């Protein structure tokens, strides 16, 4: 019986976060480089970073207590009915 | 970075005003973001009647939570990109030229420049109920020759902007004409001086 450890699901999530980080930095650098120095870009960047941190924290909290290393038998996964 | 760092001013050039699209224009992306953010909650209420989703397998539950996280991060970065695109579009008018700076996505930026003496005609338009109530619209600047017209879209007080650009263009043309006259007079004086020196055998 095949058993998959749940941490494998974190790999595509980590790849997504890498892409997210790239675009987030591109946004913030663009605002810092080309935005006028009047605080709007700074406030917007702060709100963006705070929102991102909130979502990631909520995800982390909802996944607390999971045993990531113990394999879960695949046979128990119900297949979608067509 | 201040507005003055978005362009290199020429000698004697000063900033008259800068324009961005009216803030109400950004209400559309805000509304779309709020609707997208509400979809999972609405789906949960409609499909499950507000009860918690009971999945038969732990991997499905973990996968769903990660998918929801990816969804919210995705719409959040999209919304922030929309704001960056809106905020970095700017039109700058000095007493010498007009600059139209357009942010194209995250990795593109187009800067177009027009000397005020090449402004031929300026049109302004406010169209629609909300633009009329909030006083924002389009300013189109027709240029001399085959150059593309400059268009300021969804800017506040378009009629006042049109009037000011026309005034600045007239002032710039007068200033250039005066400069040309001074240069011509200087050349005439210099030529007369050289002739006199040759006549006196000094040069």
Contact status of A8 with chain B (Cβ, < 8 Å)? no
DSSP codes, B102-167: EE-SSS-EEEEEEEGGGEEEEEEE--SHHHHHHTEEEEEEEESTTPPPEEEEEEESHHHHHHHHHH
Shortest Cα distance, chain B CAs vs residue A82, angstroms: 18
**Interatomic CA distance for residues B135 and B31, integer angstroms:** 21
Contact status of A70 with chain B (Cβ, < 8 Å)? no
Contact A27 B66 (CB under 8 A): no
Residue B82 and residue B117 share a domain: no
pTM recorded for the entire structure: 0.80
Residue B180 and residue B107 share a domain: yes
* ipTM rounded to 2 decimals: 0.86
Whole-number mean pLDDT of chain A?
86
Contact A23 B106 (CB under 8 A): yes
Average pLDDT over residues A35-48: 84
Shortest Cα distance, chain A CAs vs residue B57, angstroms: 6
Q: Is residue A28 part of a domain?
A: yes
Residue B143 and residue B150 in contact, taking contact as beta carbons nearer than 8 Å:
yes
pLDDT at A36 over 70: no
CATH number at residue B190: 2.30.29
Q: Is residue B68 part of a domain?
A: yes
Residue B147 and residue B114 in contact, taking contact as beta carbons nearer than 8 Å:
yes
Tell me the residue range of the domain where B70 lies: 25-86
Tell which wins on pLDDT, B76 or A36: B76
Q: Residue A78 is nearest to which of B6, B56, B103, comparing CB atoms?
A: B56
Model pLDDT for residues B123-179, shown as the tens digit of each residue: 999 999 999 999 999 999 998 877 778 999 999 999 999 999 999 999 999 988 888
* CB-defined contacts A:B, below 8 A: 95
Question: B 28-67 residues with CB below 8 A of A?
Answer: 56-60, 62-63, 65-66
Residue A82 pLDDT grade (very low, low, confident, very high; cuts 50, 70, 90) = very low
Residue B106 and residue B15 share a domain: yes
Model pLDDT for residues A10-32, shown as the tens digit of each residue: 999 999 999 999 999 999 998 88
- Domain final position from B50, B69, B86: B86
Residue B168 and residue B111 share a domain: yes
Contact A30 B62 (CB under 8 A): no
Residue B40 and residue B17 share a domain: no
DSSP codes, B153-189: EEEESHHHHHHHHHHHHHHHHHHHHHHHHHHHHHHHH
Contact A33 B1 (CB under 8 A): yes
Q: Is residue B203 part of a domain?
A: no
Q: Is residue B57 part of a domain?
A: yes
Residues of B in Cβ contact (< 8 Å) with A36: 1-3, 6, 18, 90
Contact status of B83 with chain A (Cβ, < 8 Å)? yes
* Predicted pLDDT of residue B95: 92
Q: Which of A4, A25, A27 to mutate to test the interface with B (most CBs of B within 10 A)?
A: A27
Residue B48 and residue B97 share a domain: no
Tell me the residue range of the domain where A30 lies: 24-61
Residue B114 and residue B15 share a domain: yes
What separation in angstroms does the CA of B155 have from each of A66, B103, B125, B134, B136? 53, 16, 10, 10, 5
Residue B194 and residue B95 share a domain: yes
**Which chain B residue has the Cα nearest residue A29?**
B106
Q: How many independent structural domains does chain A possess?
A: 1
Shortest Cα distance, chain A CAs vs residue B87, angstroms: 7
Q: Is residue A46 part of a domain?
A: yes
* Predicted pLDDT of residue A75: 64
Residue B59 and residue B138 share a domain: no
Q: Smallest Cα–Cα separation from B124: which of B164, B90, B173?
A: B164
pLDDT at A80 over 60: no
* Predicted pLDDT of residue B1: 47
Shortest Cα distance, chain B CAs vs residue A27, angstroms: 6
Q: How many independent structural domains does chain B possess?
A: 2
Q: Is residue A57 part of a domain?
A: yes
Residues of A in Cβ contact (< 8 Å) with B68: 59
Residue B173 and residue B102 share a domain: yes
Q: Is residue B96 part of a domain?
A: yes
Residue B185 and residue B151 share a domain: yes
Residue B178 and residue B140 share a domain: yes
**Which residues of chain B fall below pLDDT 70?**
1-5, 50-53, 203
């Amino acid at each position: 019986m095949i058993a998959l450890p749940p941490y494998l699901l974190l790999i595509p999530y980590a790849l997504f976060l890498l892409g997210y980080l790239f675009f987030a930095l591109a946004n913030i650098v663009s605002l810092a480089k080309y935005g006028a120095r009047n605080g709007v870009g700074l406030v917007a960047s702060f709100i963006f970073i705070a929102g991102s941190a909130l979502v990631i924290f909520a995800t982390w909290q909802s996944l607390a207590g999971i045993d990531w290393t113990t394999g879960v038998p695949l046979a128990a996964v119900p297949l979608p009915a067509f | 970075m201040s507005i003055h760092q978005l362009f290199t001013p020429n000698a004697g050039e000063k900033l008259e005003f800068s324009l961005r699209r009216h803030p109400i224009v950004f209400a559309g992306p805000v509304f779309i973001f709020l609707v997208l953010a509400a979809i999972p909650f609405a789906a949960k209420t409609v499909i499950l009647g507000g009860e918690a989703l009971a999945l038969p397998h732990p991997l499905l539950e973990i996968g769903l939570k990660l998918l929801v996280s990816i969804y919210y991060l995705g719409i959040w970065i999209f919304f922030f990109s929309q704001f960056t695109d809106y905020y970095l579009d700017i039109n700058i008018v000095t007493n010498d030229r007009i600059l139209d700076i357009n942010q194209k996505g995250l990795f593109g930026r187009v800067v177009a420049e027009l000397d005020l003496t090449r402004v031929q005609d300026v049109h302004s338009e406010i169209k629609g109920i909300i633009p009329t109530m909030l006083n924002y619209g389009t300013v189109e600047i027709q240029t001399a020759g085959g150059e593309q017209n400059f268009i300021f879209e969804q800017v506040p007080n378009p009629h006042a902007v049109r009037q000011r650009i026309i005034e600045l263009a007239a002032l710039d043309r007068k200033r250039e004409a005066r400069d040309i006259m001074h240069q011509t007079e200087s050349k005439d004086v210099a030529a007369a001086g050289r002739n006199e020196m040759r006549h006196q055998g000094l040069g």
